[in-house]
């Protein structure tokens, strides 16, 4: 896993992924006590950064392997990213999703061209289902984060941050990244190490599900006690990956953790001040910039909003924090 893979992924993504900007609001700056620069990956295809990694992984396969199709496990953003990338490559995709996944996410994944296979979380083994389908059809598994070509695709976010920060004259700053398994965070960290070494990546997570923060503190992979029960579901994973964690440990600063209420308030501020729609899990980095200002140094902080796939009731709940 290296910068050359990220640059190669950027070449393959050119003309396919959206190049998202760095946005700023004086109102958000005032809350944070410094300039806040927001990278809105909620504006990416399928509403999250996941399209980058999916396209990178599919475009890196040889044509014969890719033509047989791909398979992925996901209940949300990775599913939609893989489905669209496969559709645009003209190859089949199978997405294994829990039967209790939100109806909208099931419908969206099908609408993007995937064959959705559902399973019962309580009684069925998704890995066994995936192994069987992959073997029967010759499908290639696209992992959500612990996969070099996926990390390379996510790392293109970091190349863009480096270029845009330089244009703004930002030489030193913390870069706060919403973190689940660490694919986005590690990819950005590798890109910035090469192109903007004065920018330091820091993972942001929900309180109670801060496995990466605790792993960085202990120096070894720590696990979450549970993997459900938080509104920031988009970024909750059991533990950092075996590929991502060594990168995170080498390059990242201390992690930050925020509450559900702080995440909802960040969703509201993103909409109020920048007209951006963020999901709670995609807003935890902004929440950290706004609510953990004493744990951040410097005149500037860069924040990635990683996704915006929020349902209407949750978005209304977030806007209710403005009252």
95-141 pLDDT, tens digit per residue, is 998 887 777 788 889 999 999 999 887 788 888 898 899 999 999 99
Q: Is the pLDDT of residue 231 over 80?
A: yes
Question: Under a CB-based contact definition with an 8 Å cutoff, are residues 50 and 281 in contact?
Answer: no
Dig out the tokens for 22 from the structure: 């760095």
Q: Please provide the average confidence, as pLDDT, over all residues in the chain.
A: 95
| pLDDT, tens only, 296-320 | 999 999 999 999 999 899 999 999 9
Dig out the tokens for 109 from the structure: 């994944």
- 3 state SS for the chain: CCHHHHHHHHHHHCCCCCCCCCEECHHHHHHHCCEEEEEEHHHCHHHECHHHHHHHHHHHCCHHHHHHCEEEECCCHHHHHHHHHHHHHCCCEEEEEECCCCHHHHHHHHHCCCEEEEECCCCCCHHHHHHHHHHHHCCEECCCCCCHHHHHHHHHHHHHHHHHHHHCCCCCEEEEEECCCCHHHHHHHHHHHHHCCCEEEEEEEECCCCHHHHHHHHCCCCCCCCCCCCCCHHHCCCCCCCCHHHHHHHHCCCCEEECHHHHHHHHHHHHHHHCCCCCCHHHHHHHHHHHCHHHCCCCEEEEEECECCCCHHHHHHHHHHHC
| pLDDT, tens only, 200-219 | 999 999 999 999 999 999 99
pLDDT reported for residue 291: 98
* Fold (CATH) for 51-141: Rossmann fold (3.40.50)
Each domain of the chain, given as residue ranges in start order, spans: 3-48+147-322, 51-141
| pLDDT, tens only, 176-191 | 999 999 999 999 999 9
Euclidean distance between the first and the last CA atom of the chain, given in angstroms as a whole number: 46
Q: What average pLDDT does the segment 271-300 reach?
A: 97
- Identical fold between 3-48+147-322 and 51-141: yes
pLDDT reported for residue 103: 78
Threshold 0.85, pTM exceeds: yes
C-alpha–C-alpha distance, residues 265 and 256, integer Å? 16
CATH code of the domain occupying 3-48+147-322: 3.40.50.1100
């Amino acid at each position: 896993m290296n910068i050359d893979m990220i640059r190669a992924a950027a070449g393959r993504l050119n003309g396919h992924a959206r190049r998202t900007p760095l946005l700023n609001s004086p109102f958000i700056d005032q809350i944070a006590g410094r300039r806040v620069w927001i990278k809105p990956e909620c504006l990416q295809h399928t509403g999250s950064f996941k399209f980058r990694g999916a396209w990178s992984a599919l475009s890196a396969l040889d044509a014969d392997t890719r033509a047989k199709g791909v398979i992925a496990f996901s209940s949300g953003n990775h599913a939609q990213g893989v489905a669209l990338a496969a559709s645009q490559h003209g190859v089949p995709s199978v997405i294994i999703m829990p039967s209790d996944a939100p109806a909208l996410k099931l419908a969206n994944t099908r609408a993007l061209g995937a064959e959705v296979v559902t399973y019962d979380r309580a009684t069925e083994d998704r890995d066994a289902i995936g192994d069987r389908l992959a073997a029967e059809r010759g499908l290639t598994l696209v992992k959500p984060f612990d996969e070099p070509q996926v990390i390379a695709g996510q790392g293109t976010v970091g190349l863009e941050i480096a270029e845009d920060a330089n244009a703004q004259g930002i030489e030193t700053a913390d870069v706060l990244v919403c973190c689940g398994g660490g694919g986005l965070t590690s990819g950005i960290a590798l890109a910035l190490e090469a192109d903007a070494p004065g920018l330091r990546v820091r993972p942001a997570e929900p309180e109670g599900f801060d496995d990466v923060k605790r792993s960085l503190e202990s120096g070894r992979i720590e696990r979450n006690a549970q993997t459900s029960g938080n509104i920031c579901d988009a970024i909750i994973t059991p533990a950092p990956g075996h590929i991502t964690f060594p990168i995170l440990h080498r390059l990242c600063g201390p992690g930050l953790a925020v509450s559900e209420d702080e995440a909802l308030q960040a969703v509201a501020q993103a909409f109020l001040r920048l007209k951006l729609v963020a999901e709670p899990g995609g807003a935890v980095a902004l929440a950290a910039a706004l609510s953990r200002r004493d744990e951040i140094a410097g005149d500037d902080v860069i924040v990635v909003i990683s996704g915006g796939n929020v349902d209407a009731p949750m978005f209304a709940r977030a806007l209710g924090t403005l009252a």
